[in-house]
Amino acid sequence: MLIYDIRFLFIYMFFVGNLIFVSKNKHLLVVLLSLEFIVLSIFFFFLVLLMFIDYDMYMLMVFLVFSVCEGSLGLSILVSMIRSHGNDYFQSFSML
Amino acid sequence: MNNNSNKMFFLFILFFSTLISISSNSWFGCWIGLEINLLSFIPLISNSKNLLSVETSLKYFLTQSLASINFLFMILIKFSLLKNFNMNNIISIMMNSSLLMKMGSAPFHFWFPNIVEGLSWMNNFMLMTWQKISPMILLSYYFNKNFLIFMIIMNLIIGSLGGLNQTSLRKLLAFSSINNLGWMIFSIMISENLWLFYFLIYSMMIFMMISLFFLMNMYFMNQLFINNMNFFIKLNLLINFLSLGGLPPFMGFMPKWIIINFLLINKFYFLTFIFMMTSLIIIYYYIRIIYSSFMFNYFKMKWVNLLMKNNMSLINLSSFISISSMILSTFIFM
């Protein structure tokens, strides 16, 4: 993919992360990992954007704090699910 | 762990997160508010001991986190391409899509009836009313008119046709909520004041319905006509359902009337047709419920006339408000 612009890398990473999120997986952990991958791509994008504002990277740190909170919330829900269902397979969901 | 002080803490943060989101002066602050909203709502709903609540909170977390992270990515693309002032482009479509997914609007609505089915009535009330405030106000800041009109049409049709085959009261109210979302999104495009008016009346009506179902502990439609309710409770059910559907002497007609007025003055004839026809379908299945509730099991004792079994004062007050408020509201502006 010979595209000479860095923005396409971010869009590609974001798109691949979304693709794995919506794909049919066996484990829930894969979905949470794809969420973290999207967060990583946004981190990179944010870094490159904020480099043009003379090293004011504070928003990046705030973004990182909130993304980590969200990731840990996902993991806690994973733990809660394992405590009640026994594993994190998607097939152990009942029909809601 | 049914701890009320936990719930108060997270409820306070939930209210605060909406205020952060709608009063921030940058899109990043809006995203932060949406994240705090998710962080504080999940402990509220995963707070019981059955399997279903874990699954519900998982589904809610997955959809909402995906939507908010997409929203942030679109904010960054908008920031990098410097598209701050023209609203009818593809970036506004993407941002609106992620906000619509947060709200549970069609075509991103598939999680909504599932999750509503797994929550208790009070959590449903929070999900259906308060959680819609901040995505809607963010929608009003940067919307794409043509895209939103298409989404409104899909909302109305899916909300009306999806509720036809339901027997669970929660899913019924979920589809009715999706339909009312269509009206509310259109009222955002008219004026924010009108949206606020519609939203307040809608949340009042939903509160009356949900408090009725909560007090009677009813979750399914057969519970409406199998057990022997008092006549006034059935009458209140009738009034609230018809008010929710938007029938004229009741309170729920007033915001819809203003929206239809705007539609017809500005010659949106096809959209008016769709609004009307889908409202008709919704009133059909409300009346189907009430009809069986009234006619199927009518139990009246011979010697004691008025059998007041349940606590009636709130129910009577809510019926009175639903009937009379539209007429009384015309007296305010004299």
Task: Kindly report the three-state secondary structure assignment for every residue of B56-75.
Answer: HHHHHHHHHHHHHHHHHHHH
* Whole-number pLDDT of residue B312: 65
| CA pair distance B85, A49, nearest whole angstrom | 20
Structural domains in chain B (count): 1
How many beta-carbon pairs under 8 angstroms link A with B?
Answer: 79
> Is the pLDDT assigned to residue A94 strictly greater than 70?
no
pLDDT in tens, B134-151: 999 999 999 999 999 999
| CA pair distance B179, B177, nearest whole angstrom | 5
> In this complex, do B56 and A69 lie within 8 Å of one another by their Cβ atoms?
no
* Strand, helix or coil for residue B168: strand
Locate all alpha helices (DSSP H) within A1-96, ordered by sequence: 6-22, 28-50, 58-85
Sign of CA dihedral A24, A26, A32, A38: negative
Q: Which two tokens stand for residue B210?
A: 């949900």
pLDDT in tens, B226-279: 776 777 788 888 888 999 998 888 889 999 999 999 999 999 999 999 999 999
Instruction: Using an 8 Å CB-CB cutoff, list chain A residues near B59.
Output: 96
Q: Nearest Cβ partner of A73 from B39, B66, B118?
A: B39
Q: Which residue segment(s) compose the domain that A39 sits in?
A: 1-93
Q: Which residue segment(s) compose the domain that B260 sits in?
A: 89-333
Q: Is residue B70 part of a domain?
A: no
pLDDT in tens, A4-51: 777 788 899 999 999 999 999 888 899 999 999 999 999 999 998 888
Query: Which CATH number covers residue A48?
Result: 1.10.287.3510
**Alpha carbon B22 to chain centroid, angstroms:** 19
- b (16+ CB within 10 A) / e for B42-60: bbbbbbeeeeebbbbbbbb
Q: How far is A23 from chain B (nearest CA, A)?
A: 13
Q: How far is CA B42 from CA B37, B59, B99, B324, in A?
A: 9, 10, 18, 38
pTM comes to 0.91
Q: Is residue B55 part of a domain?
A: no
> Is the pLDDT assigned to residue B334 strictly greater than 80?
no
Q: Is residue B315 part of a domain?
A: yes
Structural domains in chain A (count): 1
